[in-house]
Amino acid sequence: MTTDSPSSHTADSTPRTRPRRGPWPFIRDVLVILLVAILVSFLVKTFLVRAFYIPSASMERTLLEGDRILVDELTPRFGGYDRGDVVVFKDPGGWLPVAYAPQQPPLTAALDWLGSLVGLSTSDSEDHLIKRIVGMPGDHVVCCNALGQVTVNDVPIDETPYLSLNDSQTAPQEVDYDVTVPDGSVWVLGDNRDNSQDSRYQQDQPGDGFVPIDNIVGRAFLITWPVDRFGLIDFHHEVFRGVPAP
């Protein structure tokens, strides 16, 4: 039988203590996670989807004032746009009144900027417009025929599925125009036709009422708020099914 020597016993029984870690590793991990989350959110907002809110009644019945929506920025890059699409676009110039934005406290401005960066804030909604595409490049769009209908390439379109009309109306108030949409642009109208400062009313602006396709942010596709209005946005492509190519 063998026995441990006193020296070996003492060496083996000495408790080992790990060096204490400071708070920095934890802080570092949190910062890395936050930076990755911000980067992913920024890429999503830049290339995939973007959030906006509806500041006016110009798209009723489809969209109500105060609705929050998501805009698809990706698929139009590959498939382009179609008549009937509901699109968000930057002001081509002169469509929106010049608005004075009061200076925000630095902390509020920083949080708003960060929220806009990751798509949680919709602070730029007031700088954009949302309408429905009625005329694509080359289309001949005229208002109106004897029934008050818009014609596209000499074909009248029945817009009753989405127009906001009162009980006494069968068609919106007529605003005469006869335009051919130039290459690289679209002609857009609001669904609440009698309460929409759309292409019809911008013909005295530098762009003659047309919206450059490069100004379009993307196609609105989903209402996210309020909860009871959650759902997909209908483009009503069937309304334009009989319209021939220009």
Alpha helices by DSSP H, 23-105: 24-47, 75-79
In angstroms, the CA 157 to CA 176 distance is 16
Amino acid (1-letter code) at residue 86: V
Radius of gyration of the chain (CA): 28
Residue bearing tokens 């809110």: 53
Q: Which of 8, 56, 121, 131 is catalytic?
A: 131
In angstroms, the CA 212 to CA 188 distance is 11
In angstroms, the CA 154 to CA 241 distance is 13
**Would you state the structure tokens that stand for residue 156, as one six-digit string?**
């009248």
Q: Which of 45, 56, 58, 196 is catalytic?
A: 58
Q: Clarify whether 7 is annotated catalytic.
A: no
Q: Clarify whether 131 is annotated catalytic.
A: yes
Burial pattern 73-108, b for ≥16 Cβ within 10 A else e, equals: beebeeeebebbbbbbbbebeebeeeeeeeeeeeee
**Would you state the structure tokens that stand for residue 152, as one six-digit string?**
């596209």
Give the CA distances from residue 237 to residues 81, 188, 232, 233, 242, in Å, rounded to whole numbers and listed in that order.
Answer: 11, 14, 14, 12, 10
Distance of alpha carbon 137 from the chain centroid: 22
Residue bearing tokens 């968000």: 88
Active site residues: 58, 131
